[in-house]
Structure 1
Amino acid sequence: MKAGGIDSSRIESMLAQLKAAAQGPRVGQENPIGGGLGIQKLDSPQSSTKVSFTDALKASLDQVNQVQVDAEKLGKNFAMGDDSVSLSDVMIAGQKANISFQATVQVRNKLVSAYQDMMNMQV
């Protein structure tokens, strides 16, 4: 089944990654939300190992925003004639930003749907 161009299995995979991130980061473990792009480390041994859903969601949104900002910056540099930026780099960064945004929209749609289902439940 396709949901807006993205397989529902990919959405379920992203939700599983969010759940894994919400269980708490491990020292030296790759960030499951970032697809292995960064490493989360505990700040101190006294810090809590639990990460709230809000924090995980905010971190994901911040990362999507950063990818979009980077893609826009590359595009502007290319348009200004910067020789160190190639067209292929600009296009790849733009596609990465688009894909991450579309995935975020699909997660949001699933969350809204789950919220509506919960609000329609009989108590």
Structure 2
Amino acid sequence: MTDAISSVLSQIRAHEMRMKGVGDTAAGSAIAPTAAGIGGTQATEGGGFRSAMSNAIDNVSKVQNEAGELQKAFEMGDPRADLARVMVAMQQSQVAFRATVEVRNRLVQAYQDVMNMPV
């Protein structure tokens, strides 16, 4: 179980490092939160857990949208969208979504564990 958590965390860190390499071009095209963050504080520059999760969710959304577009192209008879590419894209989006849900479930469980700790 700890290997699975370590694997997910390493994937998130790798994704964060790739996003740092992209720079401001990716941040300019993404929807950035302008309101105050949790607890009324502004989001900090330079990343952290919040930005890593936001980037991961944006990536899952992008993968799902691309898979949906490829599926639609295949259904419309586009010769560039073959069945193998569509199936691979759909599986990639499914795996990305499942990983995101698993991270969310573990975060909720950790929050509940902390809240149930005696003070």
Q: Percent identity?
A: 41
Could you tell me how far apart the structure 2 residues matched to 1:56 and 1:12 are?
15
Counterpart residue type for residue 61 of structure 1: I
Higher helix share: 2
Mapping of 1:101-112 within 5 angstroms?
101-112=97-108
* Match 2:74 to one of 64, 69, 78: 78
- Is 1:40 matched up with 2:21? yes
Matched with 2:4 is: 10
Q: Deviations over 1:66-112 (max 9, x none)?
A: 00000000000000000111000000000000000011111111100
Matched with 2:31 is: none
Could you tell me how far apart the structure 2 residues matched to 1:10 and 1:17 are?
11
| CA separation of 1:78 and 1:17: change in aligned 2, threshold 3 A | closer
Counterpart residue type for residue 11 of structure 1: I
TM-score, length-scaled by structure 1: 0.70
Contact 1:11–1:106 (8 Å) recurs in 2: no
Higher strand share: 1
